[in-house]
Amino acid sequence: MVLRRLPRSRHRWALARAAGLLALCAAMTAPLPASARAHAATPFQDHGRLQVCGTALCGEDGRPVQLRGMSSHGTQWFEHCLTGASLDVLARDWGADVLRVSTYVQEDGYETDPARFTDLASRVIDQATERGMYVIVDWHMLDPGDPRVNKELAARFFTEITERHGHQDNVLYEIANEPNGVSWQAIRSYAEDIIPVVRAGDPDAVVLVGTRAWSSLGVSEGADESEIAADPVDAENVMYTFHFYAASHREEYLRTLSRAAAELPLFVTEFGTQDYSGDGPDDFAMTQRYLDVMAEKNISWTNWNYSDDFRSGAVFRPGTCSEGRWADSGALKDAGVWIRDRIA
């Protein structure tokens, strides 16, 4: 049975305040369904600790859910876009369920100052948690594309993050952003080494495993989901990630996502309406086709990215974050307006 959530809008947080009015009207109206009476003010209160059930992401009650939200850009560049005020806008005005916190390994990221980037990720996790959102801790490896190269750093990072946040029930762990140039067997081997590290600090959390060829389920290197289905990660509560950029990744990618959802638990942790560089013209029509498939199959997603980078894939116009104008009507680029309206 698919979980039926109340209609979502940018004013969802106001629902809790309306409880008193509902009580006054109770004598004049039919009783509300149990699900509506129990509807809480935040996504976490709605669903509790998440789990994988079959090919679906499910809430604590075992019913499938679809989370919708945003990914940050690299925290080494856009820390100033992740503040209490900006997350108020994301959680309360946009109605987002989930924030993906992207800690780059290279490119002036984690490897340069592990303590700083662990503290930074931890701060954002706390801020998102205070607002009732789920958090994806994204180990944003990209180049080199073999996740095993950074395995010792990954083990340190996830050990320290789970020591701080493993007691929480709203955190998911994405252990390899976009593996590339390596086989599925290599990725699986890495995952089976790192998942126990996560489990040591957070035994029941959902773990998200990157897939071959920039998390395309192998499509960008001539493969497909069958190699994962034939040789899955030997662990429970695991999902596999899929990334797409609609202006670049067309019919074959969309067909693969739709087909793979019948066999594998999938989470689209990164996508854009532009080309694979995160820039260029928006292809809203193709992106909507992806969103329709994800809605039909309850595939959760986070859009790239919640920053004011100059590229078209960033939702805010340049200067928005330094000026603190996240809620201004003119702060959003076209892609920002479009995706906000589909999160809400």
Q: Name the residues annotated as catalytic.
A: 178, 270
Q: Tokens for 71, please give them.
A: 């990914």
Q: Using CA atoms, how far apart are residues 324 and 85, in angstroms rounded to an integer?
A: 8
- Using alpha carbons, select from 341, 271, 344 the residue that is nearest to residue 313: 271
Contact 70, 343 (CB under 8 A): yes
Q: Using CA atoms, how far apart are residues 320 and 307, in angstroms rounded to an integer?
A: 8
Q: Using CA atoms, how far apart are residues 65 and 58, in angstroms rounded to an integer?
A: 5
Q: Is 62 left (phi over 0), alpha (psi -120 to 50) or beta?
A: left
Strand 56-58 relative to strand 51-53: parallel, antiparallel, unpaired?
antiparallel
- The count of C-alpha atoms lying within 13 angstroms of the C-alpha of 344, restricted to the half-sphere facing its C-beta, is 15
- Bond into 305 cis (ω within 30): yes
Between 184-201 and 151-165, two packed helices, what is the crossing angle to 10 degrees? 30
- Using alpha carbons, select from 245, 257, 255, 258 the residue that is nearest to residue 304: 245
Query: Phi and psi (nearest 5°) for 207?
Result: -110, 130
- Using alpha carbons, select from 97, 168, 94 the residue that is nearest to residue 126: 168
